[in-house]
Amino acid sequence: MKQYDLAVIGAGSGGLVAATSARRAGLKTVMIEKNKIGGECTHYGCVPSKALLHTSKTYHALPDNTELGLPEVALTQPLDFGKVMEKVDEIVQGIYAHETPEVFQKQGIDVIVDPAGAQFLDPGTLRAGQVQLKAKHSIICTGSSPRRVPIPGDEGVDYLHNENFWTLRELPKKLVFIGGGVISAELGQAMARLGSQVCILDRNTRILKVTNPEVGAHISQVFETEGIRLLTSAEVIRFDTPHTMLVKQAGRVIRLEADRFFMAAGRSPNVKGLGLEQAGIAYTASGIQTNEYLQTTASNIYACGDVTTTHKFTHTASYQAGICLHNILHGNSKPSDLSVLPWAIFTQPEIGHVGLSEAEARRLYGADLDIFKVDAAIDRFITDRKRGGFLQVMFAPNQQVVGAQAIGAHAGEWIQLLTLAIRHRISAKEMADTIFSYPTYSEIVKKAFTRFLRTKN
């Protein structure tokens, strides 16, 4: 039976960071994956969705060339959706070429890819397919999967979700998203721009509840302008047929017909079949329980990413994988800190967020909280015809940034400057005194700090 210093279970973003970093640190490492190396992000999430979003953005912009004084573009052929998806897959495969088992084996990492995945027999023993092995430590990075919410009458419904969606080769004429979160917003806008009639259902009063109300209202208005139907405060009653759903909204029953229904009702941690009980690892429906050092209730086993946190982002998993490895190598000396966690939603316009939400900041600081907003109307936004949107920065009484929300062109990029300001406690004056290149989108950040300080003088 082979002996390892570290077993990494799951080869997504967290697993890849854990395994490669462990090998560089001199640990004898095995990485176990039940599907494809690269995980959700490479094959079903970040990579293909951003490729499709780029295509849809380009297609959507074609008729707008006359705004620039260019000739009108006449589309002489209908969109070949199958070809679009094949091109998306080419991008996925291009990235996967750098994540194959052979790539990591050449780095000295043992790789086991088996549909059975890994199962703990005890805290230090695992089975991976037909192989048994010993590991001094393990890091669980198994991620999450689309959650299916049962709906009366849905037995014959062939739901789409973020995994099987990428096998589509025909554009659905009518597409309904069940759930108004990030996946529905990004893919819903992309599919509407490519020609589908899109409807997004949400039981909440608005879509993208994770955003602040003003950001949510702005993107909702954009969606409705683009022809996306938003049914909020909506309750799904049942399916009458595999292509007909009944929904209740404001006391009336609405009949929705669609070629396909996309189930986007959240995600569930991948804990099934891991043998967590045999290893003495506590978990709930929300995921594996860990302490602040990401150590599970089995002292030699750690967990990171979607399988253990509500902050289900690729960059969270990568960050936490590094925390796990540090604490394995140096003892529990570095806690996981997600208090300054940036995230972005890649709609058009993009949405960016970091730090406290507006509601959290108001609870913490009350009337002493300063909220300052600057519109995306500075020169680069104007030259690129990207006006619309804003940056909202929240300041504590000492003028330190505690949170920021943004919507606008490339907001996911320039929100990172606010991440640095919060993380390293850069003062408003220091940010305002910093020279920014002109004309850039990120200049909006400097404008926010400069104008905020003017209100204090």
Q: What is the pLDDT of residues 300-318, one digit of tens each?
A: 999 999 999 889 999 999 9
pLDDT at 202: 97
Q: Write out the two tokens for 76.
A: 């002489």
Residues of the chain with CATH 3.50.50.60: 2-38+99-145+268-330, 164-265
pLDDT at 13: 97
pLDDT at 23: 98
Q: Give the Cβ contact number of residue 326 at 10 Å.
A: 17
Residues 6+ apart with CB under 8 A from 7: 29, 30, 31, 32, 118, 126, 133, 135, 137, 138, 139
Please tell me the distance from the alpha carbon of residue 95 to that of residue 273, in angstroms, as a whole number. 29
pLDDT at 457: 76
Q: Are 211 and 351 in contact (CB under 8 A)?
A: yes
Local confidence band at 187 (pLDDT 50, 70, 90 cut-offs):
very high
Residue 74 pLDDT greater than 80, yes or no: no
Measure CA of the first residue to CA of the last residue in the chain; give whole Å: 71
pTM, to two decimals:
0.95
Q: Residue 441 carries which side chain, given as an amino acid letter?
A: Y
pLDDT at 309: 86
Q: Which residue do the tokens 């999967």 mark?
A: 145
In CATH, the number for domain 2-38+99-145+268-330 is 3.50.50.60
Residues of the chain with CATH 3.30.390.30: 343-454
In CATH, the number for domain 164-265 is 3.50.50.60
In CATH, the number for domain 343-454 is 3.30.390.30
Residue range 8-38, pLDDT digits in tens: 999 999 999 999 999 999 999 999 999 999 9
Please tell me the distance from the alpha carbon of residue 281 to that of residue 143, in angstroms, as a whole number. 16
Q: Are 285 and 294 in contact (CB under 8 A)?
A: no
Residue 75 pLDDT greater than 90, yes or no: no
In this prediction, residues 273-286 reach a mean pLDDT of: 97
Residue range 394-445, pLDDT digits in tens: 999 999 999 999 999 999 999 999 999 999 999 999 999 999 999 999 999 9
CA 394 to chain centre: 23
Residues paired with residue 120 on neighbouring β-strands, in sequence order: 126
Residues 6+ apart with CB under 8 A from 373: 390, 391, 392, 393
pLDDT at 82: 98
Q: Is 1 exposed, middle or buried (0-12, 13-18, 19+ CB in 10 A)?
A: exposed
Cis peptide before 242 (omega within 30 of 0): no
Local confidence band at 77 (pLDDT 50, 70, 90 cut-offs):
confident
pLDDT at 167: 98
Which helix (H) or strand (E) segment is 246 a member of?
Answer: strand 244-249
Residue 73 pLDDT greater than 90, yes or no: no
pLDDT at 76: 78
Residue 4 pLDDT greater than 80, yes or no: yes
Please tell me the distance from the alpha carbon of residue 410 to that of residue 91, in angstroms, as a whole number. 21
HSE on the CB side for 337, CA within 13 Å? Answer: 7
Residues paired with residue 238 on neighbouring β-strands, in sequence order: 246
Please tell me the distance from the alpha carbon of residue 281 to that of residue 388, in angstroms, as a whole number. 49
CA nearest neighbour of 162 among 140, 141, 194, 191: 191
pLDDT at 387: 84
- Mean pLDDT across the chain: 96
Residue 71 pLDDT greater than 90, yes or no: no
Residue 97 pLDDT greater than 90, yes or no: yes
Residue range 315-337, pLDDT digits in tens: 999 999 999 999 999 999 999 99
The region, left, alpha or beta by phi > 0 then psi within -120 to 50, assigned to residue 280 is left
In this prediction, residues 286-296 reach a mean pLDDT of: 98
Residue range 104-160, pLDDT digits in tens: 999 999 999 999 999 999 999 999 999 999 999 999 999 999 999 999 999 999 999
Q: Give the Cβ contact number of residue 79 at 10 Å.
A: 13
